Chain A
Amino acid sequence: MKRNIAMVALPAAAAAAAALLADDFVLRFLAEILLFGIAVMSLDILIGFGGLMSLGHAALFGGAAYAAAIAARQWGGDVALVLGSGIATGMVLAALMGVVVLRSGHLFLLILTLLMGQMVWEVAFHWREVTGGADGLRGLPALSLGPWTLSTARALFLLAALLAAVAFVVGRSFVAAPIGRALVGTREEPIRMAALGYSLFAVRFRALVLAGALAGAAGALFPFVNLYVGPQSVHWTQSAAMVIMLVIGGIGSLWGAFIGSAVYLGIQTYLSAYTDRWQLCVGLVFVLTVLLLPNGIASGLRILRDRLRRRGA
């Protein structure tokens, strides 16, 4: 019980402190970290729980971003509309992807998700009338909730924090529910699960659609942080960056996704002003994580906490 209260209170307090103290740039940066964190967390459900290594996750995230941006340009930036169109797009793209990829496994799945994701990129890149082609879409209206306009960095950050909290609860409920357990089962013992009467496809398909909904929700808000959406947000390199964030943060922990996106974007944003070799640093952090903390920073923190607790007891 005490732990649950702490789990709610700590992030809430951190978010409130940030909203009060941080400046505009930091707030937008934090919003970006949170939105990427949500997308990476949804990827964690696939990779960490389902063992489904996807290299096409940015297509869900970025596809939703395009849908939300197009909807907002057409009908205005109402949050419900933006989130609704993003979530729906994420789910539809995930369902399409699922129908194609989920009959394969391992590297075949990796390549199929890559191909599917790049097909989405090709569409975004070439359909100039709708997506703006290589130049992307700009000139987005401000987000609004009823009578309020949510265009300030603080409002965007609070919205992203709220969405992250909801997404985290949804993600945790999913992996704790029977369907989540079944998903782990399909990864560990696919043959036994099939023998027990589970449809591997159905279990995985639901997980993918849920991940699409979460990534879609995050993607829907993403264009409003930068007032822009472009084809890079659906490119496979964005998917690869999400995998890197996930591994650095910790596979299979859900909350590690947020740490991973913070570390990755932090290195990229702050280190690159000091050295041209920041990609070397990302690579080194990544390899060291794989070698030393195969379960990411999240597991490192957990081990540290357990040690401290034992010493305290």
Chain B
Amino acid sequence: MPNATDHEGRASSASARAAASAAATRRLLLVGATAGALAPLATPALAQARPLRIGMVTSLSGPFAALGESMRAGMRLLLAQSGERFADRPVELIVEDDQARPDDGVRKARKLIGQDRVDLLCGVIHSGVALALRDVVTEAQMPTFLLGSANDLARKAVSPYILRPTKTNWMLGSTAARRSHETHPGARVVTAASDYAAGREFVGDFVQTYQEFGGRIGRQFWTPLGSADFGPLLTAIAAERPDSVYVFFAGSDAVRFLRQWKEYRLAGRIRLTGTGACFDQEDVLPAVGDAALGAVNTFHQSPTAPASAAFVEAYRTSGKGLPGEFSTTGYACGQVLRAATERTGGDPTDWARTRQALFDAPVDTAFGRMPFDPRNGQAILDIHVHEVRSAPGGVINTVVHTYPQLRDPGPNA
């Protein structure tokens, strides 16, 4: 039954807002409505506006632990910069660990929705968790900012309760093919990727776009997720003698691949292009260093794009290194949440109104200007082409080109 009271609470707070424009009256009614929904919990909060509760599901253990910590750090940095308040309303962030396991992610999301009574839900790295959450948050009518990047989230699995302030895999795969064609037309490209959903999408979109441009694709190599030894793969690539290779690996796979890429002396002999995650500024490049020099990748996140400069500076002064994809994602998601709260006068829980407010005008984030596509709630993003160059103290993803305002083909694709 708590769901029903929850909806009543939300509905009456919505009607209250429509009836009264004076802030004082609204607050009074709001307090009344939320107090009804949360009678046993909310006593101390009665004195002032109830804090905005944001639930975050991310991976703090398991294979994506480092990424999840970055996402949380990015979000916390934004909250700290905002004085822990959005639109003058105190914000409370509750972070739950999904271990990169869909079943655990679903249970944690249900806990945030059912027990912690969060107003907004955000997070998720693992696409499986994101897809599993899709039906759960839709059923619970929970406003969710979902940060997984499977193409389906902007296509078959679109939900009216989900907004996606991040990339889809298609955006990166297709731009990489475009760039390859523009700079080296006619080159013969082989692909190598981890054999799971994300790898299949990146490589599939790359191959499709590259072939549409008339490019030549050689062999496609797949390796199991979590490969200990890339020697056999690298030897096979060397024997193919392609002009260039397009790769997707993440985390420890990326580190091992790049280190061994250098050890097998393929660096310099074969052009290396790939997905940004394989050259993540925070997760991968500090470990591999100059082994990645000269590689080209496409990414929506960049430590050298003008839009992210302020965030990069703030993140570095908070005692960390250069930010990578997920710290920026956490921060940008916070910026979107803040914009949503500000544009709705401190109460983003009236979801139809919040969605519309975000569709009406783009949000300025660390990913650049971010409009949302009303068809699927998917962000429209600038995609940067990076070359890994040396910099003081390491190597850095340097923007060499930008494809502005890329829009996923969406539900009709």
Contacts and interface: CB of A to CB of B under 8 A. Distances in A.
> Is A in direct contact with B (CB under 8 Å) within the complex?
yes
B113 interface: yes
Given A23-B1, A273-B94, A276-B60, A226 B107 contact: yes
Contacts of A25: 110-111, 113-115
Interface in B155-179: 157
A230 B102 contact: yes
Interface residues of A, number: 30
B290 interface: no
Contacts of A139: 135
B61 A279 contact: yes
Contacts of B198: 134
B96 interface: yes
Nearest to B104: A268
Interface string A221-248: 0000011101111000000000000000
A32 interface: yes
A228 B135 contact: yes
13 contacts: A25-B111, A29-B110, A133-B200, A134-B127, A135-B128, A135-B197, A136-B131, A227-B132, A272-B60, A272-B97, A272-B108, A278-B61, A279-B61
Interface string A9-35: 000000000000001111011001000
A278 B99 CA distance: 12
A106 B328 CA distance: 49
Given A226-B103, A273-B94, A138 B132 contact: yes
Nearest to B224: A122
Contact of A23 (B114, B152, B157): B114
Contact of A230 (B132, B152, B200): B132
B200 A272 contact: no
A125 interface: yes
Interface of A: 23-26, 28-29, 32, 125-126, 128, 133-136, 138-139, 226-228, 230-233, 268-269, 272-273, 276, 278-279
Interface of B: 1-3, 60-61, 94-97, 101-104, 106-108, 110-111, 113-115, 127-128, 131-132, 134-136, 139, 150, 152, 157, 195-198, 200, 225
A232 B31 CA distance: 43
A230 B135 contact: no
Contacts of A268: 104
B103 A269 contact: no
Contacts of A133: 196-197, 200
Contacts of B97: 272, 276, 278
A228 B128 CA distance: 10
Contact of A269 (B102, B108, B150): B108
Contacts of A232: 101-103, 128
Contacts of A278: 61, 97
A130 B135 CA distance: 19
A231 B128 CA distance: 9
Contact of A134 (B2, B103, B196): B196
Nearest to B95: A273
A25 B136 CA distance: 12
Contacts of B96: 272-273
A138 B61 contact: no
A146 to B, nearest CB: 23
B111 A228 contact: no
Leading 5 A-B pairs by shortest Cβ distance:
A25-B114, A228-B132, A134-B196, A134-B197, A226-B106
Nearest to A270: B111
Q: Identify the interface centre among B106, B113, B132: most chain A CB within 10 Å of its CB.
A: B132
Nearest to A122: B224
A227 B109 CA distance: 13
A138 B150 CA distance: 14
Nearest to B140: A24
Nearest to A265: B107
A125 B199 CA distance: 13
Contacts of A29: 107, 110-111
B115 A228 contact: no
A20 to B, nearest CB: 11
Contacts of A227: 106, 132, 135-136, 139
